[in-house]
Every structure is written in structure tokens, then in C-alpha cells.
Chain A
């Protein structure tokens, strides 16, 4: 009886050529406008889009997996890919890419493409990219002797000190402690691998991360950065009022800033590549963004692949940029005048040549949260930097215990 029911269900699903596509956040809203063109070109294929909010996306996808009701394709933040590979939920795409005329590795930023490769196999196609750069108030920085953005860690610290000392801004820079991105970016820049021994243990007490951590905390020690996040619940207003003059954030904030800043401040908004630890060194940032993945259980893999190809065409990518302001993953799209003429975007283009992925283990999100928690403890002075990093490593080792067990099992 039950079997009959299930059988009946899946066949009826199979006949209707509808692709189930889960997209996250604002992308889910805007993507609808690009679908009619795809459906016109591919008669017989219909696309049903479901939008899920970012805050619930991870939970919802895992729950869907547990309940065996995954969509045919979905959008995944590229740091989540290892997790879904561990679940064996997503399809390996190498053979499809090899046969494709639209999608090829060379069309993408290498650092971003690499985030989709787990153990040598490709699992996702970058859809849009993001990374973090320095946003700053050109007027305020010029007043303290920085007509150009700070280029090195020392300059960043110096500029922040001067801004505060000369009362140009209440705080120099906004480095929120409720995010893991700050310390992790600095750690990567300083050359830390974050994890060690085939990603089986934490490497946060290592000299490289330690140096980055101390540098990060210096901004709190000297009160160059606001501590309680709720003081700046409106980051745009804070920026406009000169509550702080710099922050490190992503492309989604270009539009927000331009929309929310008053006329006179808007002209002074500028973006720049992140400062490097020392002059002449590369200044890495995070390889962020979202990828499109195909559910392994999908019965419409061909149709799904057609949709991914359509979304990866330079033309579609530019239209998508127009709608969402998400930066295109396909490099050809960057040659379009919309992007070339946008002076805020140039810094991102440059930064995207220097991006690195966070360790590709399913536990990364958990680890990242621990990094954030211990950074917060150290910033509030609850723990000394050594204590915080030692405890962080111990915690991370514990999180990775299962990974070590699984690896040792496959070796036997």
C-alpha cells in the first residue's frame, strides 16, 4: 500500500518537467525574472523556485535532506559545499563541465572555482561571487594624511589611531566581533593554514594566526573600534555620522551605502583592496559567494544542467547583476560596461584575484563560530590571547574528532 503510494507519487513527478530550485535570500526573489526566457528557450521544462531566507537556509536544507525532500537544484554558500559532499547529497559535475560549451574552469576566478573542488572533484558551479574589501570615508582619511587607502597593516593601524586622536571619527574602523570573517581573513593573510595535519587539528595557536589575532585585538585594546555591536545597529548611519571611518565588508553593501548615505557623504565613499601584512605581500581575502549544485537524487539532471548553463552565460550573469547587484562569477561578464564603469566594483575585481578558501571540511561552520566566540572573549578581555587560542584549538580538535576517526577507518 505504502509502496504503491510512493511509486505513484514519483512517477507523476517525473512526467511533469518541473525543476524544483531552491534559492536563498534576495537572489531567490530576483531570479524569477530570468526564468521566463529560459522556459521560452526550453519548451517542456518548467522551473519552480522556492525562496528561503539566509538565516534559515542551512537548517532547512539539512532538514530537507533528512526528510528526503531535496529540490533538484539549489544554491549553496560555497563554504557549505564540503558538508553536502559529506552527506553525499550533491552530484559530481566534472563530466558535465567537460562536455559543456558554456562552462569551463578558465571562465572563473581561480580562487573561487577552487572552493567548489573537494578531494579533486568538482561539485558546484559558481553563480555569483563575493569577497570583502575595505570601505572607507575618503574625506576623513585624507584629513589624517591618507589620500589613498591604507596599504599595509601598519598603515591601517596608524590611520585608525590618527582618526581617533585627531577626532575625525569616534572610532577608526568597524571590526565586528560577532562575525568570524575579521580574524579569519587576517589569519589567512598572515599565512596561517587555520587547520593542520590534513585538516584534522586546529592550528590557531600557530605563530601566523597568533600574529593576526594580536593585530586584530590591538584595535580593541586602543579603542579604535566599537566593541558592543548594538551600538552600531545601523552601520550606514554610523558611517555617515563619522562614528567610524572604515569597515571591511562585501559587495552587498555597495548598494546599501549608496542608497542610505546622505548626498554629501556618498561622494566620499570609496572601496579599496584590503591592506597586506607587509608592503609587497599579497593581501588575501575570503573566497565567498554562492554556487549552484545538483541534487544527486534528482531525476531531471539534464534539465537542471541546462538551467545552470543558462544562468552561467555572460548575458544572464549581467542581467542578474542588474537585478541583484551580486557580482558575476563569470569573468566575461566583468567586461561589460555596467561593471567597468562602476568605481566601487573595481576594488572587488582586483581583490577577487587574491582570494583564498577556508578549510574545506564539513565542520568549518562550527569551527568558524568557535573562532568568533573566542575572539569575542579575548576582545572583551575575558581571556588572554594565549588562553583564547589554546582553548580554541582544544575545542576545534574536539569538533574534528569524528573526522579523524572517519579518516583512520578508510585507511584501514
Chain B
């Protein structure tokens, strides 16, 4: 090993050891645990844990609750991610308008939900969604819509949480989109304008392609984040009614920390990891081939 390589390793050592101890090691332990039936009995006496091979994974595939959680999470991602990205992009374009006044005020207002703690937000939203006295039903009532039991109706609970999540998170992506928009040179729009392109054509043929790298980044981050859907149902519905808002991470939390079925819970974690990993790979492939 030559001196400079050694120096490099030396400098890397603190970070590497931290990553090993706090990341790789727990991941390996969790994987081993996912092959056992480690539970509350084993906590007291490790000899009461059995090595069960892929049994946890097998049971998981036959657990109706897991499939329900997977369906719910997929629903949340499929509806929530496009909605969230569209909202962010829309807000970013509006805020990027040259003629808009009080830009920083609006930016602040839209970004505030991102940094507010969800627990506080949840209290307010529970009032908004209240079936008898809520603001949401009041507004809908103005259009003659009958009151909806937002959080109590299995059909509406998930849309309610999606609206909440989009409202809570779009500010973050909006900031990234604004940065992306500002890096598009004005000359392109001027040239297009001279060539007679309308606003919509400019948007489709300049803004969208120029934003592609930003969109890729935002898309991946949002999908990963939305797959880890947890805090909203945890504080708003606890997964109910009828498990209609039970997400994979919430299921994992319940199995792990409520029932202390750590083996089973770990296997859920690995299945989720695998799903997110595959989807991210697909996303990279598809979007890269389009970008290049």
C-alpha cells in the first residue's frame, strides 16, 4: 500500500467505522433476525428463539394484512407521488413568475408545512376532516356535497391522508423545482418566443425537458419517501378504519414494537427494501433512457 492510499484509508476510517457499526452491522443482524422467530419469549431467553429459515417470508406472503398494507402503500404512492410532484411543479412555476410580488412570503408559506411537526399538524387536520363540524365538509357542503366521514370511512380515509401528505410535503420539492427552473437560460424562452411558440409549447418543449434531471431526482426521492409512509396513519388513524390506512412501515412498527415479533418485523423490512430497490432501479432505467 503506498503512503497516499494509506492516508486515504486513514481519513476514511472514522466514517467507515461509523457506517459499519451503525449501518452495516444492524442490517446484517436484522437479516439474521428475519430468519428466526425472535419474539417476546426469546427476549427473556434466547434459547426460545428458533431458526426458521425463510418461514417468516413465507408467512408474510400468506398474511392478508401484509397484502392489504402493500396495496394501501401502493395506492398511496401511485396517487400521492404524481399529485405531489404536479403540485410542487405548479407551485414552483407560479412562484418563479417574474411579475409575482411577495415571492419570499409565498415561498415561506408553502414551505412551512414541511418543517412543522406532523403531530401538531394532525390535530388541526383532524378538525378539518371532522364529519360534522369540519371545514372540509363545510366547503363541500357549499357545493351541495353530502358530508363525508373522512377518517372514519374506509373508502375516504386514504384520500384524506393523501391530501394531508401532499399538502405537508409539496413545499420541499417545490424548492428544488424552483432551483431547477432558475437554471434554465432565459435565451431558450426568448428564442422560442421569437419562433412563435405559445406558453404551453414553451412549457412542453423547454421547461419539461430542461427539468428532466431535477424531475428524476425529485421522482426517486419522493417515491422512496412515500413508500415509507408511516407518520400520517400513525398519528391520524392508527391504520384504521378497517386497516384501510395500514402501511407497510406501520405494520412493521406494530409487529416489531407493539408485539415484539422482531423476526417477522425484520422480514417485512427486507421485503420493503427489496421493493423500493427494484422500483428505483426501474425508475433510473426508464428516465435515463429518456433523458439521454
Contacts and interface: CB of A to CB of B under 8 A. Distances in A.
Given A65-B43, A83-B40, A86-B41, A231 B131 contact: yes
A17 interface: no
Contact of A382 (B43, B150, B240, B242): B242
Given A63-B257, A228-B241, A230-B149, A86 B132 contact: no
Given A86-B41, A376-B242, A233 B258 contact: no
Interface residues of A, number: 29
B283 interface: no
A230 B152 contact: yes
Contacts of B154: 380
A123 to B, nearest CB: 14
Main secondary structure of the interface of A (DSSP, over half): helix
A76 to B, nearest CB: 14
Interface string B234-253: 00000011110000000000
B134 to A, nearest CB: 10
B226 interface: no
Contact of B259 (A86, A366, A406): A366
Interface in A334-392: 362, 365-366, 373, 376-377, 380, 382
A211 interface: no
A378 to B, nearest CB: 11
B43 to A, nearest CB: 6
Interface in B1-23: none
Contacts of A405: 50
Contacts of A52: none
Contact of B260 (A62, A178, A229): A62
Nearest to A228: B152
A87 interface: yes
Given A402-B41, A406-B41, A233 B257 contact: no
Main secondary structure of the interface of B (DSSP, over half): loop
A280 B45 CA distance: 48
A231 B260 contact: no
A87 B44 contact: yes
A58 interface: yes
B258 A58 contact: yes
A411 interface: no
Interface in B38-70: 39-41, 43-45, 48, 50
Contacts of A4: none
Contacts of B48: 406
Contacts of B151: 230
Interface of A: 58-59, 62-63, 65-66, 83, 86-89, 178, 227-231, 233, 362, 365-366, 373, 376-377, 380, 382, 402, 405-406
7 contacts: A59-B257, A66-B43, A87-B43, A230-B151, A231-B152, A233-B126, A373-B243
Interface of B: 37, 39-41, 43-45, 48, 50, 126, 129-132, 149-154, 240-243, 257-260
